[in-house]
Amino acid sequence: MTTFAILLTLVLLIFAAGFTGFAIVSLSEGHRRAARLAGALAALSLLILIAALMVPPTVQNVLALVLGAGLLALLLYLAWPARLAIPPSPPPTLRIDERTTMFARACLAPGSPEYSAYYAAHPEHHALDDLFRSKPGLLAPGALFYDERLASSPEGSFYLTESLRHAVNGPVADTATQHSPQAMTAWIKKLAAYHGAVQTGICELQANHIYSHIGRGSGTYGAPINLDHRYAIAISVEMDHQMLNCAPRMPTVMESARQYARSAQIAVILAAAIRALSYPARAHIDGNYRVIAPLVAKQAGLGEIGRMGLLMTPGLGPRVRLAVVTTDLPLSIDPPTWDPSIIDFCTHCTKCAAVCPSQAIPTDDRQHHPDGTLRWKINPERCYTYWTAIGTDCGRCMAVCPYAHADNAFHNLIRFGVANSANFRRAAIWMDDLFYGEKPPPHQPSPWLR
């Protein structure tokens, strides 16, 4: 056997082993199309190897040279540095009134003074909101995917989150002990991780992070919000990808409700722990926010806001739920980050927009908005109206996002390439469509959920 033939054998064996491994991982993740394709590529690599071993040594040498040159060219292409002229979005210049958000509008009881006052001030929302009110509603019998047994799980999780809404704040201990900001920062991050947070970031709280008026949760509806805490701690928790892949059916709302409860629990514990150290702290959790969690999380370095309008984290994409704690406990802030790779990926990938059943996600480039930001903006009325028709929080966009794949060595290798090479990002979009489909179908729920 010539040296070239040995190299050829090694490369083809590595290909076959890699594709076999990927097929097994894909099968375990429920991605049958990816598993079939990877299995076929593994078999093809072995067939080429067998054929190459049967031809004369001179042909083997030519084959090895062709394969080597092809691989080298591919590596050079993928690693080629690209100059990215992608500007970050400026921060919003205006504060958002929480009353204008879909969730606050959904809480308005027809006939109530708040209802009348809101639609007198925002007549442009009235017909749009009447449309979602004409649908069965979230977790409501009659909705397309409603299932009484499965719906009991998110009902239970939301019950816990709702109970925690009354525990977001409390008395502050008066036995002050001085700790260095560095020591406290390390402690808070460890504590958050201990309770289940996958990421924790800290930033200075800015005016544009804070809603201007209360729209739901504790406090008086419509009251101006004055929150003068100096720091904000953003945490994220992971959503299970198997449950999310069943989107838009019931398992997805089971999982989002579970993770809203988990993130709320962590934030409430952190805030109470800080108050026990004699500093004021308030948790901001589902249904009782005073801050806009994705904006805080972005400022704290957890990710960027992507095409679907959600925080895209480098490790799990949008497959996270967020909560925030604001406090005066002296902390070290995380340096602001700007990751153009996520915005570059979203600019060229429109997978979430392609699968969105309500066509709520834009397919064009980021646009400038009156609040000074440069971003994608989804149509919240279309999205929410779809939720109320099907009875779940849909999540199709999150489920198909190439960033949302499972956290394992195969996907993390792709994530490394995506973060570091513009050409790799283009290739990754193409590969994701090839292995998973341009519009991946929802997965079948596990047997216990059927």
- Chain residues binding ligand SF4 by CB under 6 A are 306-308, 312, 345-346, 349-352, 356-358, 360-361, 378, 383, 386, 394-397, 401-403
Q: How far is the CB of 376 from ligand SF4 (least distance, A)?
A: 8
Closest CB to ligand SF4 among residues 22, 345? 345
Q: What's the rounded Cα separation, in Å, for the pair 26 and 18?
A: 12
Shortest Å, Cβ 306 to ligand SF4:
4
Residue type, 247: A
Please give the span between the terminal C-alpha atoms of the chain, in angstroms, as a whole number: 56
- Six-digit token string for 396: 């199709």
Q: Could you tell me if 323 and 263 are in contact, meaning their C-beta atoms sit under 8 angstroms apart?
A: yes
**Least gap, CB of 373 to ligand SF4 (angstroms):** 17
Q: Which is nearer to ligand SF4, 92 or 314 (CB)?
A: 314
Residue 219 CB, nearest approach to ligand SF4 (Å): 28
Smallest separation, CB 390 to ligand SF4 (Å): 9
Give whichever of 19 and 376 is closer to ligand SF4, judged by the CB atom.
376
Rounded least distance, CB 347 to ligand SF4, Å: 8
- Cβ closer to ligand SF4: 154 or 306? 306
Provide, rounded to whole angstroms, the least separation between the CB of residue 305 and ligand SF4: 10
Q: How far apart are the C-alpha atoms of 32 and 302, rounded to whole Å?
A: 32
Are 202 and 300 a contacting pair, CB within 8 Å? yes
Residues 10, 15, 19, 21: is their CA dihedral positive or negative? positive
Q: Read out DSSP for 75-144?
A: HHHHH-------PPPPPPSSPPPGGGSHHHHHHPPTTSHHHHHHHHH-GGGHHHHHHHHTS--TT-TTST
Nearest to 440 by CA among 383, 402, 390, 387: 402
Handedness of CA 109, 115, 107, 223 (dihedral sign): negative
Residue 306 or 442 having the CB closest to ligand SF4: 306
In whole angstroms, what is the distance from residue 114 CA to residue 434 CA?
50
State which residue, 241 or 275, has the beta carbon closest to ligand SF4: 241
**What's the closest the beta carbon of residue 9 comes to ligand SF4, in angstroms?**
38
Q: Which of 439, 433, 446 is nearest to 244 (CA)?
A: 446
Comparing CB distances to ligand SF4, the nearer of 402 and 445 is 402
DSSP run (H or E) holding 312: strand 311-312
Residues 6+ apart with CB under 8 A from 413: none
Of the pair 68, 417, the CB lying nearest ligand SF4 is at 417
Rounded Cα distance, 442 and 449, in Å: 14
Beta carbon of residue 175, minimum distance to ligand SF4 (angstroms, whole number):
47
Q: Supply 176's token pair.
A: 């002050």
Question: Which CB, 269 or 381, lies closer to ligand SF4?
Answer: 381
